[in-house]
Amino acid sequence: MFKLSGGQTRNIKLTLAYDGTHYHGFQRQKNALTIQQVVEERLAKLFGHELKINGSGRTDTGVHAYGQAVNFYTGGTVPTCRIPIAAKGLLPPDIVIIDAEDVPREFHARFWAKSKIYRYRLLNQPLLNPFERNYAWHFPEKLDWQLMQEAAQLIAGTHDFSAFRATGSVPVNPVRTILAVECRRRRETIIEFEFWGTGFLYHMVRNLVGTLVEVGRTRMTVDEFSAILAGRDRKAAGITAPPQGLYLVEVKY
């Protein structure tokens, strides 16, 4: 825990929404601008001391969030209910605190998280809409979203997701539990995937989407998708979908 100079320590949980277009992800880095750095620096002005926020997890460069959860400790006296409004004038317009609450001292945004929901957006039309270029993967070829929905249902459950982990990522247990998956069409040109799970591997959602698109192109059958999941070979799966279509929707506790 970050050591404060004095006063009673409060543990505060924030829910952040942000447009990740102009940031190198959530987690602080030495030579790149990140969401964590900006939030820490701006909130330090509000609370009158340096602080460190704990995120529920990192998001990559260009990835967005509707509901990223963080917590931090403070001895500052700003009322919790006033934090979203008070921070509005300090944070850039592409980062917003949408909720603040007091939580137990032991609460940690990462370790207490029970599950997360991610959404991925595809713009499926011949020409790029310039207003969607930073918020969806533009895929010009026609896709059969119902085939993708059929394949996506195979993801639900507890599986070894080695076929969909990032190449060269830090070795961790590849077994994850996905509670629900949905593929739906929003308007004629937008296809959305939604993944609700208790945990995700690095790039797992983007690798799943990249492979499901191969099903939608009819270059891969649903049975072949099932075989890739069971086979646990990353080389057999599809590409990593680009980051701008990915959103962290909600962290559940």
**Separation CA 237–CA 138 (nearest Å):** 20
Distance between start and end Cα atoms, the chain:
20
Which residues have C-beta within 8 Å of that of residue 160, sequence separation ≥ 6?
Answer: 174, 175, 232
Instruction: Write phi, then psi, for 157 (nearest 5 degrees).
Output: 115, -175
Q: Specify whether 160 is catalytic.
A: no
Query: Long-range contacts of range 52-55, CB-CB < 8 Å, 24 or more positions apart?
Result: 52/2, 53/14, 53/109, 54/108, 54/109, 54/110, 55/26, 55/27, 55/109, 55/110
Q: Are 109 and 71 in contact (CB under 8 A)?
A: yes
**Two tokens at 27?**
């987690």
Active-site hit among 60, 94, 99, 160: 60
The residues assigned a catalytic role are: 60
